Amino acid sequence: MTTQQPYRIHALELGPMANFVYLIEDLATHRAAVVDPAWDVPEVLVLARERGVTITDVFLTHSHHDHINGIEELLRSCDAQLHLLKAEAQFWGQGLDLPTLHHGGDRIALGDTEIKILHTPGHTPGSACYQLGDDLITGDTLFVYGCGRCDLRGGDPEQMFWTLKDMREKLPEETLIRPGHNYSVAETSTLREQLAGNPFLHFDDLQRFTQYRMHYHDKHREEPYGPVRKGEEMS
């Protein structure tokens, strides 16, 4: 029997880079959080009004422009608290107005909904995923059948390797991955499906992972990303 979750997650695909902006709705209190506000803040506000919720919190997975370019507009429109990892705030270096800084493992209460912050470096030093119930909002750490780039400022393929290894070993296989971009044949996927078909989750060797991430993948795979059998990553 499926347990009724105290929340709903709504996804908006916005902008020229197919970003997913998420609205987390707490069903009991009608509070809501926006994850990675970017591109079209009025569309986010329309969704909040349609759902009858009050935006009280803003969560950042990381600080790249395509995930944050709507922060100021959103904060002018609602009285919300901004949350990000301390490691990402230090990397970003922006003079934000009193954000709440977190460490990996911290938990945030959005009404009756408990949200755990995972520190998942690799794409940036302070990249975060947000875990609630069986859902995991992954930003640019893990895509459906892909993972974030490590060649931009702050990227580190070794950190990404250990982050993904940790995720595949510690998260339940029924975890539903909700990525930061719509780059794949499906908008969401279970971790079980990703363990079978995501090439970045197939590597046990750091050197081979780094070779694939930094030199092979972007030259040989095209969007939308689909499943790859283990052992066929570079065939």
Contact (Cβ atoms closer than 8 angstroms) between residue 225 and residue 185: yes
Contact (Cβ atoms closer than 8 angstroms) between residue 161 and residue 203: yes
Q: Which residues contact 8 (CB under 8 A, 6 or more apart)?
A: 24, 25, 27
Q: How many CA atoms does the CB half-sphere of 173 hold within 13 Å? A: 4
Residues 148-168 pLDDT 10s = 999 999 999 999 999 999 999
Extended beta strands in 36-188, E state: 54-59, 81-85, 100-102, 107-110, 113-119, 128-132, 135-139, 142-143, 146-147, 176-179
Domain coordinates in residue numbering, the chain: 7-220
Contact (Cβ atoms closer than 8 angstroms) between residue 106 and residue 116: yes
Overall CATH class of domain 7-220: alpha beta
| Verdict on whether the full-model pTM lies above 0.85 | yes
Of 107, 100, 94, 114, the closest CA to residue 6 belongs to 114
**Residue that is written with structure tokens 């990996």 in the block:** 104
Residues 177-217 pLDDT 10s = 999 999 999 999 999 999 999 999 999 999 999 999 999 99
